[in-house]
């Protein structure tokens, strides 16, 4: 187990890393999905996966937010989703149960992975999930108290990195090509470009309430996000100053 930096007892923000780069909305699409709490690429290039922590379902959606399909799976307090091309797996994160669940493309459960790590509140626990397909390591976050970047392989925790640069941590995305991790903070209203240990490289700010899902196009510096409170899918870009 590797621990870096200093853990925080609350969600209070520590020293901000770098001058923030402002983002603006390119387009937005209403979602007919209550409390969307995770976002990921799907297996087709023109669609996404979304999870809801209201219905605890997994949805396939078009990029305009329209629903293609609701999968059969019903989870418990879903707070993240990711698609793993090798094996054609869907990963979802169940916050209160501290569990990762591996599904097939129909939504059938293939395996469940109870996670063994310390956190102070079941309601401020597991958030987000994303797969590094270069080595099939799965990354997740603990929201705060403490803020953690967690790295798993085959369900076993292999690394845990303390996070102290934001007020909370609500979503993440692994950029496989660059071998970097992008971390979303709802309370800090920011997206952080980080290395694989969670050390910030750049910070991007926005003004949207309760973002909980994240997809990054690092080459274009464009971001897809979903708002839990607004039930809306947004595409963001760097603001023209």
The confidence score (pLDDT) of residue 148 equals: 96
Q: Is the predicted pLDDT of residue 16 greater than 80, yes or no? A: no
The confidence score (pLDDT) of residue 145 equals: 87
The pTM of the full predicted model, rounded to 2 decimals, is 0.90
The confidence score (pLDDT) of residue 9 equals: 40
Mean pLDDT in residue range 103-112: 97
With pLDDT > 70 as the criterion, what percentage of the chain qualifies? 90
The confidence score (pLDDT) of residue 122 equals: 65
User: Model confidence at 2, in pLDDT bands (50, 70, 90)?
Assistant: very low
- Residues 6 or more apart whose CB falls under 8 angstroms from that of 229 comprise 35, 209, 210
Mean pLDDT in residue range 50-56: 96
CA-to-CA distance for 32 and 11, rounded, in angstroms?
31
More confident residue, 13 or 142: 142
Q: Is the predicted pLDDT of residue 7 greater than 70, yes or no? A: no
Q: Is the predicted pLDDT of residue 192 greater than 80, yes or no? A: yes
Q: Is the predicted pLDDT of residue 135 greater than 70, yes or no? A: yes
With pLDDT > 90 as the criterion, what percentage of the chain qualifies? 83
């Amino acid at each position: 187990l590797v621990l870096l930096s200093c853990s925080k007892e609350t969600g209070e923000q520590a020293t901000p890393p770098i001058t923030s780069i402002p983002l603006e909305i390119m387009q937005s699409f209403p979602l007919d999905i209550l409390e969307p709490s995770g976002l990921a690429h799907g297996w087709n290039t023109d669609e996404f996966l979304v999870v809801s922590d209201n219905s605890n379902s997994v949805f396939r959606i078009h990029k305009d937010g329209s629903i293609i399909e609701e999968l059969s799976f019903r989870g418990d307090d879903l707070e993240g989703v990711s698609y793993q091309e090798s094996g054609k797996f869907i990963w979802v994160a169940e916050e209160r149960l501290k569990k990762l669940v591996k599904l097939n493309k129909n939504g059938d459960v293939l395996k469940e992975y109870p996670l063994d790590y310390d956190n102070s509140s079941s309601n401020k626990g597991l958030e987000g999930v994303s797969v590094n397909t270069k080595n099939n390591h799965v990354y997740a976050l603990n929201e705060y108290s403490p803020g953690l970047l967690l790295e798993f392989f085959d369900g076993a925790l292999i690394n845990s990195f303390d996070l102290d640069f934001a007020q909370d941590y609500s979503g993440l995305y692994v950029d496989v090509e660059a071998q970097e991790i992008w971390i979303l903070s709802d309370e800090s209203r920011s997206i952080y470009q980080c290395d694989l240990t969670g050390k910030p490289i750049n910070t991007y700010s926005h003004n949207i309430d309760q973002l909980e899902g994240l997809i990054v196009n690092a080459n274009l510096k464009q971001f897809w996000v979903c708002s839990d409170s607004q039930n809306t899918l947004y595409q963001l870009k760097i603001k023209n100053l």
